[in-house]
Structures are given as structure tokens and as C-alpha cells.
Amino acid sequence: MLRAPKTLAAVMSNSPMSKDEVVDRLFAVFTDQGYDGATLAEISRATGLGKSSLYHHFPGGKEDMALAVLARADEWLRVNVIAAVNGPGTPRDRLMRMLDAFNTIYAGGKNACVLGKLVAGTARPLFQRQLREIFSRWIGALEKVAVDAGVPQRIARSRAEDAVAGIQGALILSAGLADSEPFRRRLRAIVDDLLAKAPKR
């Protein structure tokens, strides 16, 4: 998960929601509805903030909100992926920790990926730089683990790209088939795919 959600008590006493919490809600909305599909009315409902309050926090409107969500996604990646890469354990151990994180944030294949949704939206040009940075960081982290495991750099790079693309595609496919199994199977296979000793792939 991104952060601990507000307790029910906190919600019902309408205690002030921190900006972090607001961004978490935005993250969920954009993940679910995409950029073009997300309306201010729904965002208002999901955050409990009126439109004026939203524009107070995000003067640039939806675009600002999506940028905040992308920053959050980047932060999530640093905490859950980059940190795991530089952490203790064998390459396999480290990958397993990352996969746990992915399994959680994608809810076992029932959630979409906010990156994929923003890539698919008509506003993608607005976010191209951020998307490129995040995808590059993600690929770089996987590449590093494979290299640590003895995979040659060039092959590690290709496998890392395949791993990221495989996850994105599995999420699309699972959504299209209305069956989360393709995603779950992809996650199970990803460690061996990245670290395989075989010369090809």
C-alpha cells in the first residue's frame, strides 16, 4: 500500500486530511479512471474536498494532480524497488521483496497501473518526461539486480525491459480477460526470467 489509510474514526470525525492522504486518494482515482476519465466531481468525492479546496492545493487543476500522483509513484518506486535493490540478501531475495510490493499495489492483478493509465491518456505529452524517468528508473533497478546475479549487462537490460513490459502487458491482459491469473503467473515467472543462466533471453 502507499500509506496507512485514515482510520474510520478519523474519517468520521472529519479530522483534516493530510496532503499525503489526499495524494493517495488521487493516486487511486487516476489508477482507476485514467486521466481523461477522472472528473473533478469524482476526485472531490474521493478526497472529501470541494473543488475550491482542490484548486487551492493544486492550482493547475487536474494536470497538477496527476503530476503529484506521478511524484508519488516515483517515490513509491524508490522506497519499494530501489531500496530493495540496494538492500541485503541474494538477488533472488531482493527480487522477491520487490514482487511482494508489486503484488500488493496491483492487488494481485485486479488493479491497473497508474503509469500505464497515464501513458494511455490524451494528456501523455504533459507527463512524458516524468513517465520516461520513472520507467527508466524501474528498468534500471531490475537491470542492476540481474547484473548483480551475474547476468551480462546487455542481456540484463533487455530482460529488465521485458520484465517491466511483461507486468504492464499482463495487467492489460488480465483486465481484458477479466481474469487475474495471467498477471499472477507473470509475477511468479519474473524472477527466473530475470536471473536465468541460459545464454538467450
Partner DNA sequence: GTCTATAACGGGATAGAC
Partner DNA sequence: GTCTATCCCGTTATAGAC
Contacting residues toward DNA, per CB under 7 A = 16-17, 38-41, 48-53, 55-57, 59, 61-63
Question: Of these partners, DNA, a second copy, none, which one is at the site of residue 49 (CB under 5 to 8 Å by kind)?
Answer: DNA
Interface residues with a second copy (CB under 8 A) are: 33-34, 36-37, 112, 115-117, 119-122, 124, 128, 131-132, 134-136, 158, 161-162, 164-170, 172-173, 175-178, 182, 185-186, 189, 192-193, 196, 198, 200-201
- Dihedral in degrees, nearest 10, Cα atoms 47, 126, 164, 30: 20
53 exposed, middle or buried (CB, 10 Å; 0-12, 13-18, 19+)? middle
- Closest to a second copy by CB, 56 vs 124, is 124
Residue 178 burial (CB count, 10 A) = 7
Answer for the pair 59, 35: CB distance below 8 angstroms, yes or no: no
User: Cβ of residue 66: shortest distance to DNA, in angstroms?
Assistant: 10
Going from the C-alpha of 68 to that of each of 21, 25, 61, the distances in angstroms are 12, 11, 11
User: Cβ of residue 179: shortest distance to a second copy, in angstroms?
Assistant: 8
Amino acid 183 reads F
User: Cβ of residue 18: shortest distance to DNA, in angstroms?
Assistant: 9
User: Cβ of residue 116: shortest distance to a second copy, in angstroms?
Assistant: 5
